[in-house]
Amino acid sequence: MRTVTQLFGFRSGLFAASLFCICTSFIQAIFAQTNPPPPDPHEMVTHEPRTLTKPADRSAALDLLDRARQNFNLHNISTPYALKVSFETNGAAEMEGEWTMEQLSDGGSHWRWTATATAQSQDSVVIRIGANGHVYGTNPSEPVPLRVQLVRSALHWPIMRNAGASAIRAADVERDGKAMSCLLLSASIPPNPAPRSWVEREYCIDRATGLLQMWSEAPGIYAVYDYDGAAPFHGHTLPRQISIFEDGRPAVQVRVESFEDAPNLDPNLFKPAPEMADAGESFTLASPSRFPMRVDPSDAPTSPFFQPVIVHAILDAQDGSVLDAEALQNSDKDLSRAAIEMVRSTSFPPSGFQQEAFINVQFHMPAATLDGPPIFHSRVRWMIWDRRGKVPPVRRPPRSGN
């Protein structure tokens, strides 16, 4: 049984497994000491990147980001099209398996996408229909599975908007004969950063084509884009494959089966069925967001050492509760389990969108005496601290990616 309390606008739970959660708002904790993110074979920045401070350097980086982002912005295609995708997933999320997804657009204000779990029952079908600013679905309150939202993020809105306010570090990388710029974005440059910091997003872009080659929303997850055999379509070149790795292991394999004109689409496809209309409008999906959650021992002195664990989660549109979650670092099973349980025990501020969040759970490690050496392997009663910060705004996706 779980006891739920309301504190400062957040609901938290007390777990029997030594987890006590109190409220939190989300501002960046200042690390005294922390290990860098663990090595990953898909991490492209392996040497210290340079910080971009000159206006001309920042402008060039932002232009490259915008060029790559616009390639995924399908809502500016003004003719009817059909996009068909298949993907296989493997991991600890709910509803892992084989899926297909189809997206249709009339080139105007009407769109429809359907995701179907091919190896499961016919109940595993998600439909969203958008018409003139209204959105309907098979079940207006039923969650979209985490893997489906991740695939749609990778296909439609991997690159954050409004990057101009971010601190930017850059590294020149060559891989498979391609000269790339890898851009690391964060709210501010942390002290003594490793080649990559825990707080940075990473985008590696082919400088010649402007095509995104790798996206990593947070350390521990990497989406690698393969354009071999891809053809331009109305000014857009989608990858033929996307391989997503988590904690160094394959998690999702996406294949773009076709992306083509569809001049003979039936207009009725964009009309909600009577039962959809009767059920009312549904929520849409937000593009990925990041925020921290600082965690301290509730009944022990603290060391100057923090150990982060990134939790990838989806949050309910109406009440902010956690619908599904997975840890992206699992070398310390106890910390990974604690991170997931604390995230799952907290309801975050709802936005009206189903949010995909990468939560930086920052464990302030205990010590035998205050500011003493950290103790890594002990039973700890963890507490989420309220930092009284501003919750990052939810980034809205373009209308074609709902």
**What is the three-state SS of 313-332?**
EEECCCCCCEEEEEECCCCC
Question: Do the beta carbons of residue 185 and residue 167 sit within 8 Å?
Answer: yes
Q: Tens of pLDDT along 214-224?
A: 999 999 999 99
166 vs 386: which has the higher pLDDT: 166
One-letter amino acid of 385: W
Separation between Cα atoms, residue 122 and residue 270, nearest integer Å: 21
pLDDT over 50 at 149, yes or no: yes
| pLDDT of 389 | 34
**What span, in angstroms and rounded, lies between the C-alpha atoms of 186 and 201?**
7
Q: Are strands 10-15 and 19-21 parallel, antiparallel or unpaired?
A: antiparallel
Query: What are the pLDDT digits (tens) for 93-142?
Result: 999 999 999 999 999 999 999 999 987 554 689 999 998 889 999 888 89
Q: Is residue 80 classed as helix, strand or coil in its secondary structure?
A: coil
Collapsing DSSP states into helix, strand and coil, what is residue 288?
coil
Q: Is the pLDDT of residue 192 over 80?
A: no
- The 10s digit of each residue's pLDDT in 308-336 is 999 999 999 999 999 999 999 998 999 99
- The pLDDT, as a whole number, for residue 325 is 98
**What percent of the chain is modeled with pLDDT above 70?**
86
Q: Which two tokens stand for residue 287?
A: 């593009």
Q: Which residue has the higher pLDDT, 36 or 20?
A: 36
Residue 390 has pLDDT above 90, yes or no: no
| pLDDT surpasses 80 at 78 | yes
- pLDDT for residue 21: 34
Calpha distance 344→323 (Å, rounded):
8
Residue % of the chain over a pLDDT of 90: 75
398 pLDDT band, cuts 50/70/90, is very low
